[in-house]
């Protein structure tokens, strides 16, 4: 049975039925669907449970800096041909220290790839993943259904989930619950998994705009003392900005009349692309660093923002989540082939060992970038600017930095390694 929203019987019938699955994925965002997609050619029965309608879940107004490793993962899932024409391929990425003229410029040849990075709009990734999941005979995609509670099942090593769908309640039973339910994960809370981290002093403003001149597929990360300011090129000569600033400043910026907001924006954006026209209402998001103290418990695994969150500098959050998803899918598929208990710690720890340390590294890198570039202490400022000269001129060093930022330093899933994108 595979449908956008399954036909649900009446209340009484629902209460009487327990739906049994090998794996239940809580959260049908990009990360949850990537994981489910990774299991679509197995014999495992998988349910994806998503609070929102499929259309609402797909319609988030956000674009992501999408790494070449994530591109290889999509290719491994057989979705690249559909997604690739709708992405913007970055021909250059420029990293600079505020308005200092010299920048580190990354080009595709520095990473032996057809693009330094890509920008991907949320709905493009979601559309491809949703249709793959809907077409998979072994996956049920339950939308407008919310996981309220998880508890140990009556049978050993099974977990039961209480799900609400409007006024009705359902019960699911499974050997493995995968928490892909975002930063405020119910699965993580119910499993009593603690987290480590902090909220940043900054908030993040996003908006879409149209510059007067072509963006030439160039992405920018400008490190202002108040926080990083990123420009992502989008199709049709639009750009998305991700602008971090201390909370009070961010709030005050959003409260400005449009003309003044644009003037402030232009001061950070620079004049390379001429005048700017706002195409969307600016939105504000909180920024935090969070790492779960464990990614797994017996019968439970966390992936994506449920497991970790990071500062948006460098566009790492979703890319880490996609790598988690495919790593867990690979571990589970291999364990299923060996007839192992999928929810056992012996199996799940393989995923945790693979991903948790790698994610620590990326979380630390984003924290380091944000803190060190926000600092105006003169000796630090001078060494940073000297560093920009060195990094831009010493090609092997520049390539190393690019590998760190794109996720190539870590262990790649087999499907991504086999892919020659
Ligand atoms: C402003 C901003 C810019 C960013 N830019 C980038 C970038 O350029 N590159 C990048 O890699 N990352 C970026 N990120 C990070 C990225 O957005 C997140 O890391 C990513 O969206 C996490 O995906 P996810 O699927 O894990 O979680 P989510 O996207 O939060 O999805 C969770 C899903 O679970 C569902 N759900 C929640 N609770 C329940 C429940 N109880 N039952 C059922 N379903 C539930 C939700 O409805 C949702 O669909 C950015 C973040 C911000 C805030």
What is the pLDDT confidence band of residue 397, given thresholds at 50, 70 and 90?
A: confident
Q: Which domain holds residue 64?
A: 11-196+288-417
For a pocket test of ligand 1, which of 26, 38, 64, 230 has the largest count of ligand atoms closer than 8 A to its C-beta?
Answer: 64
Report CA(317)–ligand 1 centroid distance (Å): 8
For residue 270, is it within any domain? no
Question: How many Cα atoms sit within 13 Å of 40 on the Cβ side?
Answer: 25
Higher local confidence (pLDDT), 283 or 158: 283
For residue 209, is it within any domain? no
Residue 152: how many other CB atoms lie within 10 Å:
12
DSSP state of 197: E
Distance CA 245, CA 247 (A): 6
Distance CA 375, CA 347 (A): 44
Higher local confidence (pLDDT), 165 or 135: 135
For residue 324, is it within any domain? yes
SS3 207: strand
344 contacts 54 by C-beta, under 8 angstroms: no
Distance CA 410, CA 198 (A): 25
For residue 273, is it within any domain? no
Report CA(78)–ligand 1 centroid distance (Å): 22
Helical residues (DSSP H) of 92-178, grouped into ranges: 122-135
Over residues 374-391, the pLDDT tens digits come to: 777 777 778 878 878 777
Confirm or reject: Cβ of 314 under 6 Å from ligand 1: no
For the four alpha carbons of 215, 216, 217 and 221, in that order, the dihedral sign comes to negative
pLDDT at 420: 64
pLDDT at 371: 86
For residue 41, is it within any domain? yes
Residue 393: how many other CB atoms lie within 10 Å:
10
Q: What are phi and psi of 65, to 5 degrees?
A: -75, 120
What is the pLDDT confidence band of residue 400, given thresholds at 50, 70 and 90?
A: confident
pLDDT at 16: 55
Q: Which atom of ligand 1 is nearest to the CA of 318?
A: 11
What is each CA distance from 282 to 253, 316, 388, in whole angstroms? 10, 21, 31
Confirm or reject: Cβ of 208 under 6 Å from ligand 1: no
Confirm or reject: Cβ of 181 under 6 Å from ligand 1: yes
Confirm or reject: Cβ of 282 under 6 Å from ligand 1: no
DSSP state of 246: E
> Which residue has the CA at smallest separation from atom 45 of ligand 1?
27
Over residues 12-45, the pLDDT tens digits come to: 344 557 899 999 999 999 999 999 999 999 999 9
Confirm or reject: Cβ of 313 under 6 Å from ligand 1: no
Please state the domain count of the chain.
1
CATH of the domain at 69: 3.50.50.60
For a pocket test of ligand 1, which of 28, 179, 181, 250 has the largest count of ligand atoms closer than 8 A to its C-beta?
Answer: 181
- Flag whether pLDDT at 255 surpasses 80: yes
Confirm or reject: Cβ of 295 under 6 Å from ligand 1: no
- Flag whether pLDDT at 99 surpasses 90: no
Confirm or reject: Cβ of 407 under 6 Å from ligand 1: no
Confirm or reject: Cβ of 111 under 6 Å from ligand 1: no
pLDDT at 396: 85
340 contacts 346 by C-beta, under 8 angstroms: yes
- For the full predicted model, state whether its pTM sits above 0.95: no
For residue 384, is it within any domain? yes
Report CA(35)–ligand 1 centroid distance (Å): 14
For residue 212, is it within any domain? no
For the record, the structure tokens of 71 come out as: 């591109």
The CA angle 114-123-362, to the nearest 5 degrees, is: 60
For residue 366, is it within any domain? yes
140 contacts 46 by C-beta, under 8 angstroms: yes
Confirm or reject: Cβ of 58 under 6 Å from ligand 1: no
For a pocket test of ligand 1, which of 170, 288, 305 has the largest count of ligand atoms closer than 8 A to its C-beta?
Answer: 305
Q: DSSP characters for 14-39?
A: HHH-EEEEEEEEE--SHHHHHHHHHT
Residues 6+ positions from 10 with CB-CB distance below 8 Å: none
Confirm or reject: Cβ of 146 under 6 Å from ligand 1: yes
Q: What are phi and psi of 62, to 5 degrees?
A: -150, 145
Q: Which atom of ligand 1 is nearest to the CA of 320?
A: 11
């Amino acid at each position: 049975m595979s449908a956008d929203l399954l036909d649900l019987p009446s209340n009484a019938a629902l209460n009487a039925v327990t739906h049994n699955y090998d794996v239940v994925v809580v959260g049908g965002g990009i990360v949850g669907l990537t994981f489910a997609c990774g299991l679509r050619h197995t014999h495992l029965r998988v349910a994806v449970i998503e609070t929102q309608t499929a259309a609402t879940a797909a319609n988030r107004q956000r674009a992501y800096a999408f790494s070449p490793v994530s591109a290889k993962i999509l290719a491994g899932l057989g979705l690249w041909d559909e997604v690739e024409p709708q992405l913007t391929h970055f021909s250059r990425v420029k990293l600079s220290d505020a308005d200092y003229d010299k920048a580190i410029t990354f080009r595709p040849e520095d990473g032996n790839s057809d693009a330094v990075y890509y920008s991907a709009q949320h709905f493009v990734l979601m559309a491809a993943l949703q249709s793959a999941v809907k077409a998979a005979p072994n996956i049920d995609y339950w939308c407008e259904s919310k996981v309220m509670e998880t508890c140990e099942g009556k049978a050993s090593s099974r977990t039961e989930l209480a799900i609400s769908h409007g006024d009705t309640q359902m019960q699911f039973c499974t050997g493995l619950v995968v928490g892909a339910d975002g930063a405020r994960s119910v699965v993580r809370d119910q499993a009593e998994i603690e987290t480590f981290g902090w909220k940043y002093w900054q908030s993040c403003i996003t908006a879409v705009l149209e510059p007067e001149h072509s963006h030439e597929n160039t992405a920018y990360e400008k490190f202002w003392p108040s926080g990083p300011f990123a420009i992502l090129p989008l199709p049709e000569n639009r750009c998305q900005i991700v602008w971090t600033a201390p909370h009070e400043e961010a709030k005050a910026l959003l409260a400005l009349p449009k003309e003044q907001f644009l003037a402030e924006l232009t001061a950070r954006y620079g004049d390379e692309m001429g005048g700017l026209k706002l195409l969307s209402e600016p939105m504000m998001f909180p920024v935090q660093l969070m790492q779960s103290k464990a990614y797994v418990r017996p019968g439970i695994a966390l992936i994506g923002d449920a497991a970790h969150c990071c500062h948006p500098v460098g566009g790492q959050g979703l890319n880490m989540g996609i790598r988690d998803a495919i790593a867990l899918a690979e571990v589970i598929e291999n364990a299923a082939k060996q007839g192992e208990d999928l929810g056992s710690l012996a199996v799940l720890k393989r995923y945790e060992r693979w991903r948790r340390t790698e994610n620590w590294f990326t979380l630390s890198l984003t924290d380091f970038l944000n803190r060190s570039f926000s600092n105006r202490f003169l000796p630090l400022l001078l060494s940073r600017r000297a560093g920009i000269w060195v990094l831009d001129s010493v090609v092997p060093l520049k390539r190393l930095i690019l590998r760190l930022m794109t996720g190539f330093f870590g262990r790649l899933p087999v499907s991504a390694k086999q892919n020659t994108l």
